[in-house]
Structure 1
C-alpha cells in the first residue's frame, strides 16, 4: 500500500485571559487550536480523522530565557550535573574542532566566496550537517545562516579545504 500524504493546516489563536499572572511580563493566555486538512485546491476541510493527537515539539537552539522555562517542565539536554555555564559550553565547542582550522578565518573566507561557490557551500552543509547543526534558510531575504560551531568536524574540514582551494583564506 503506498503512503498517503496530506497537508494539515493548524490555526492557533491566543488572547490574554489574565494580565496579572504573578510573573511580570508573562500574562496568562488562553489558546484555541483548530486543525484542518487541505484538499488538492488548498481549501480547508474538516479534520475528523484525528480523534486525538500527540505531537512532540523540538526547539532548535533555544535562547537562555526559553531554556529556563523549559527546565520547569523537565530536564534539558546538556544539564547532566546541573546547568552548564555558557563560557564552559562555548570553550568545549571550540576545543572539539580540529586544531588546524581557524574558525574566524573560515567565517571570513566563506563571506568572500562568489555566488556559485556559496551555492556549493550551502549544498555541502545541507548534505553533511548533523541533527545538532544549526542552519536557517531565509528564502525571502535570500540568506543562509549557519552556526559553524554546531557543524560536524568532517564538514568543517571540508569547508576549510574548499575555501583554501578557492584562495580566499
Structure 2
C-alpha cells in the first residue's frame, strides 16, 4: 500500500508564572502544547484521526513524564523552568503502526508553531476512513475501499493468501498481474523474493475472484 502522509501542527505556548521569583535566573514557567492535524490548505482538522497522542517528557517530571491524550486537540499543560526535547507519539485509528517525532520545548518565544509531516506505512481501514471523512486523501479510493469492505473481508483475504502454497500463490500473483487496473498498487522485488499488493486498489471483480479462490483452497 502506498504511504499515507498527514501533516500536523504542534502549537506551544509558554509564559513566566506570575507568582515566580522575578530575580531567579531560571524562573518557573507555565506552558502548554496542542497537536492540530492540518489539511493541504493548513486548516485545522478537528476530526478524530488518532486513538491517542503520547507525550514523553523529561524524566524529572517523574509520574507525569508520560502523558496520554485521546481527544483533539491532544493538549497537555505543565510548569517548569527548563527547556528540553520531548518525544510525541501518534497512534492512528485502527491497527496502523505508531509514529514518533521529537518536539523541542523552548522559551525563546511565548508562542510558536511547528509543522511536521507524518508518514504512515500500511495504514488500516479505520484510519483511511477517518482521513476520508476529514477530507484528506483521495475520495475515489476511499469509496472503493468502503465498497469492497462490505462484500469481502480484505484482512481475512490477506491472511488466507499468506497461507497458500507456493504454486497457488504464484497463481494469485499471475491473476493480479493479468487483471489489475492502472490504479492498482503492486511492487515486485524478485531479488528479495517479495511481492506486495494493496488489496484495496484491486478491481471489484478481481477481489471476488481471489476471495473465492482462497476460500476453496482453505477447504481443501
Q: TM-score, normalised by structure 1?
A: 0.48
Relative contact order, CA 8 A, sep 6+: which one is greater? 2
Q: Which has the higher strand share?
A: 2
Structure with greater Cα Rg: 2
Q: TM-score, normalised by structure 2?
A: 0.37
